[in-house]
Each structure stands twice: as C-alpha cells, then as structure tokens.
Amino acid sequence: MKNHVWRPLFVVIGLVVIILLIRMAYVPADFGVGERGYMYGFHRQGNEQEWKEFQVKYRGAAYCAECHEENSSEISASGHGRIQCENCHGAAFGHPEDPESLAIDRSRELCLRCHAALVTPSSGRAQLPGIDATQHNPGMECSECHNPHNPSLEEM
Amino acid sequence: MKRRDFLKNSLVFVSGASVCASALEFLDPREVLAANPEVRWAFLVNTHKCVGCGFCVKACKIENEVPFEANVTRTWVERYVIKRDGEVVMDSPKGARDGFTSKELDQGASGMRRIPDEEISQAFFVPKLCNQCQNPPCVQVCPVGATYQTGDGVVLVDRSWCIGCGYCIMGCPYGVRFFHPVEKVAEKCNFCYHRITKGMNTACVDACPFGARLIGNLRDPDDPVAKAVMTQRVGVLRDEYGTKPHVFYIGLNKEVR
Ligand code: SF4
Ligand code: SF4
C-alpha cells in the first residue's frame, strides 16, 4: 500500500482528526442552536445568562423615593417632576453605600439641553421655554437664580 | 405536454393559488400574535415628543459602560432641519450625548452651518438604536455564532466568542454597530437585556422625560407598545431591506433614512 496516493491522504485524514479533536476541546459544551434555528440561534447558550447578569446602574425615581420621600413627592409635583433624579444626580449605583459616588451635574449645559431656544416647529421642543444662551446671563449657572427642583418663575 | 393537460394544470394551479391568496387576506395580526403567547420585545419612538435633550444617550452610555468620551454610542439622536426650499440638513453632534444646545448644525468636514430661523419649515429629532430585526443580517453574516438572536427577539453579542472580524458591522444596513473601544469586540444596543429581563425599562426609556421612548412586549395585547403598533400609523426604517425592524416610529417622514 505504499504509494504516492495513500501517503498524502493519511496526512490529510490525520489533520482532519486533529482539528476535530481540538474543536471538541475548544468549543464549550453549551454551544448549540437556540430557539430561532441555525441561521439566527447558533450560539453559546450561557451568554444569554451572562447578559442578564450585567450590572444595573440606573435605579429609577422610585428607588430614590425609598429614602428621600419628602424631596421626591415635592419635586414630582413641580414642572420638573417628569425628570428622573438620576439625570442630574448621577446613576444611583453604589449609593447609598458610597454617597461620594453621586456626581451632581449643576452645569449650565445641563439645563440648556432642553432650554436653549431652537426653532423646531415639528417637535416637542417648540413647547419648552427657551433662552438664547449667548444673551441670557452667559457664564452663570442657572441654579444661581432658578430652583431646579421647582422651576416655576412665580415662586422664584 | 398536451394542450388539454396544460389547460387543466393551469386551472388547478390558478385555483390553488387563489385559495392561498384568500387565506392570506383573512390573516389577522392579532390572531397570529395570540397564537404565540411568549415575549417579543419591541420599541416605540415618538418623534413628535422628542426634544433632543440627549438624556437617553447619556444614560445609555453610563448604564452600558460605553466609554463616555469616545465618539461611539449604542443609541443616538439625529436632528433634521428641513428648509422652505426643500433642502434637508441633519446632524448628530457626539450622537447627541450632550443634547442639542446650539442652532449651528455640525456638518463634519465642511464645518458648522447656521440655517436662518425664517428659512426653517420643519425641524425635529429622531432617536435611533438597534432595530432588533426579525431577520437580522448581522446574525446571518457572523461566521462564528457570536452574534445571535434570543427567543424573545433580542440580538446579543457574545463578547467572549466574537473574533472581531467586523462582518456584522458591515452587514447591518442601519449602521448601529461599532467596535467597543475597551472590549475590542462588536458592540451595539441590546435593549438593556439585563434590565428588561428583570421587569425594568431600558435606561434610555427611564431617562427620557418626555415619553418619546417606550419598550414593550408585542405579544401582550395590553402593552402600550403593542397597542400603538396595532392601532396607529407607525413606520420602520428602511423597510425595503426586508429585515423586519422591531423599533417602530410615530411621525417618520421620507427624509429620515
Ligand atoms: S439593526 Fe443592525 S445590528 Fe440591529 S438587529 Fe438589525 S441588522 Fe442587526
Ligand atoms: S431623552 Fe427623550 S426627549 Fe430627550 S433626546 Fe432622548 S428621546 Fe428625545
């Protein structure tokens, strides 16, 4: 059986066997086909759980209200009540264990996100009170005059 | 084939085809969904409500650990300004991470552009994110099975299995994918899978003060998103690609691509 056809063939078969063995050791046991079949569901099943366990950082206003009940009911009655506490006070992850982790954003730019006057006739922005940031007390923090927790100008 | 056979076959075929067509006509989407009582996540964006504050983009970056300063985002907001003469100008500075605070439109290499107020006929904001397509091309092209779709319709990327070939980034017709600057693997919005599977909203939905974003379960007839998709005039982006996006828009127009 020693001829020039068989010897290379044995080499090829050997290579295929080695590759299959490596594949067996390398591919995780839970690698398989999910609910959507080969075209869409071919994956490592354990990864779905890994994504479910990803760390949640924003907890929502209801979580803040658990300790800060007074502030939260007062603010939610104001014109800014629809804004989540965490939009300005930072994600609650790590708070209350580590209060320093909350980075409160008091910048002028934060307010301008909604209150810089833009001409947007076909969107909700048109209904918000807006200022020309270059004319209206440039360089000052809005909170020096306005109370961000109760923006009503009458009660200023 | 004899002429008689040809006519007979044609008759059978045509009558058979018409039966199929009539069967399709009576297909009620509600019945189809009722037959499948599981979960199918879907997203609803109302462009009339969006004010371009960018709180959603900021919250997403922090929640999902997308480097804040890097010029990549899982979700972003585009501004469209349509002039009276029909010209469409759009921008999305830093993906709207800091909101839209200036009348200057960022035109990239050609600099900033200011449209005089009186020339503006329409202007609005369009939030964008991964469409969690029903037939996602990004999954089809992934050679190793790192990008896949879960049973509830969310497309996920397995970070430990992605080889960084970038096929999915090329394959997505919506350009929502990018390389994560730290993880060095393909990255995209996954509807905050870690939040919605715990019964929470996505971070962007929570952060939006105007209710412009909603996440819901299409299979639940009482879900506000499912109701809106069933009863309102909703649109999807680039329907012609056949990817069946599951991010639905209220208030789209033809300028939005
Ligand atoms: S929008 Fe792009 S990344 Fe998202 S599922 Fe569709 S093809 Fe994939
Ligand atoms: S938070 Fe809401 S209103 Fe603000 S940009 Fe995002 S979608 Fe639009």
The span from the CA of B169 to the CA of B180, in Å, is: 12
The two tokens of residue A58 are: 């924003």
Instruction: Domain B1-257: state its class.
Output: alpha beta
Average pLDDT, chain A: 90
Residues 6+ apart with CB under 8 A from B87: none
Q: How far is the CA of B68 from the centre of ligand 1 (A)?
A: 23
* Residue B25, pLDDT score: 44
Q: What is the per-residue pLDDT for B21?
A: 47
Pairwise CB contact (< 8 Å): B156 & A51 = yes
Chain B interface includes A103 (CB < 8 A): no
pTM: 0.86
Provide, rounded to the nearest whole percent, the portion of chain B with pLDDT above 70: 86
Mean pLDDT to the nearest integer, A1-9: 80
What pLDDT is attached to residue A2? 66
Question: Nearest ligand to the C-alpha of residue B125?
Answer: 2
d(CA B236, CA B131): 9
Tens digits of per-residue pLDDT, A101-122?
A: 788 899 999 999 999 999 999 9
Helix or strand or coil: residue A25?
helix
* Distance from C-alpha of B157 to C-alpha of B150, rounded to nearest angstrom: 11
Q: What digits encode the pLDDT tens for the residues A28-84?
A: 999 988 888 889 999 999 999 999 999 999 999 999 999 998 888 889 888 899 999
Atom of ligand 1 nearest to the CA of B171: 7
Q: Using a CB-CB distance cutoff of 8 angstroms, which residues of chain B are in contact with residue A41?
A: 148-149, 151
ipTM associated with this complex: 0.88
Q: Which residues of A touch B151 (CB under 8 A)?
A: 34-36, 41
Which of B45, B61, B63 is most worth mutating to test chain A (most A CB atoms within 10 A of its CB)?
B63
CB within 8 Å: B194 and A48: no
User: Which DSSP category does A55 fall into?
Assistant: P
Q: Does A87 touch chain B if contact means CB atoms closer than 8 Å?
A: yes
Residue A65 touches partner B, C-beta closer than 8 Å: no
> What pLDDT is recorded for position A99?
77
Q: CA geometry: angle at B65 spanning B63 and B69, to 5°?
A: 110
DSSP B155-222: EEE-TTT-----HHHHH-TT---EE-TTT-SEE---TTHHHHTTTPPPHHHHH-TT--EEEEETT-TT
- Closest residue by Cα to atom 3, ligand 2, is B50
Q: What pLDDT was estimated at residue A152? A: 81
- Looking at residue B100, its pLDDT comes to 97
Choose the weakest-confidence range: A102-106, B10-14, B61-65, B67-71: B10-14
CA distances from B229 to A125, B102, B197, B244 (A): 24, 34, 21, 13
Which residue has a Cα nearest atom 7 of ligand 1?
Answer: B172
Q: What is the DSSP letter of A49?
A: H
b/e map of A10-45 (b: 16 or more CB within 10 Å)? Answer: eeeeeeeeeeeeeeeeeeeeebeebebeeebbbbbb
pLDDT at B22: 43
What is the domain partition of chain B in residue ranges? 1-257
| CA pair distance A124, A135, nearest whole angstrom | 23
Task: Read off the pLDDT band of B27 (50, 70, 90).
Answer: very low
| Nearby residues of A123 by Cβ (< 8 Å), 6 or more positions away | B47, B48, B49, B50, B51, B52, B123, B124, B125
Say yes or no to pLDDT of B239 above 70. yes
Q: Which amino acid is at A86?
A: E
